Chains A and B, each alone.
Chain A
């Protein structure tokens, strides 16, 4: 079952990313640590959304885009005023 293989690779990838994010926290990279940790978290989220949640089709993507737009407004307007 190739579907099973895909899920297993995704799972192993997520664990590898977890090891990478924890490992990177022991290396001082200056301000780069924060960016790296958040980038790895985003990569994990995309992996989960595409592989486990089957984020396909117009309507689900529309819902995600709408949520993303409002989050950008929420974060953007808050941080721009500081």
Chain B
């Protein structure tokens, strides 16, 4: 029993290196997806700058800032889980993973509060909801809010995916061996940090750039 999950690898170290490379390739493909959406936003911002600036000021900067801090903290606890797993301190590793997923849930709750606020103010041009915007150039402001909801909900979907994977990993914790535990923590950690990096760019682009 060599401790690898797949028979294709001689040693756990080798399997971990293959895992890590595959995760980075996956992250690269995800960067293409988000890159294309950021590009759409950039081009629209170049064309409709003043309308986007006015619309951006309607977003809640305090809630956006809070959520950025929450997500950065979740990345920190995920990095702690990785460090603890390397030292084979499994119980604290689980707690660090639980904290990471809980902070992810906190982020989603705050995002939900923000969405609720925007919907009640008539700023959500989706699902046939009424769009009531009193500022200048409402047509392009509607475009801004369309992009805002597309970008943030795509990001939220990625976060939900990460939370589900962490929950699954904890559920399967007992039957998996030490090498597999470490592999999984490393892989889900890379994904989690990437989703954090996406938010690190989304936050200034949506909330700050127009102030």
Contact = CB atoms under 8 A, between A and B. Distances in A.
Contacts of A33: 208-209, 211
B72 A45 contact: no
Given A41-B201, A67-B28, A51 B79 contact: yes
B39 A41 contact: no
B200 interface: yes
A60 B76 contact: no
Interface residues of B, number: 42
B78 interface: yes
B154 to A, nearest CB: 17
B24 interface: yes
A82 B76 CA distance: 41
Contacts of B20: 57, 59-60
A80 B131 CA distance: 34
B1 interface: no
A21 B211 contact: no
A63 B32 contact: no
B27 to A, nearest CB: 7
A79 B17 CA distance: 37
B22 to A, nearest CB: 9
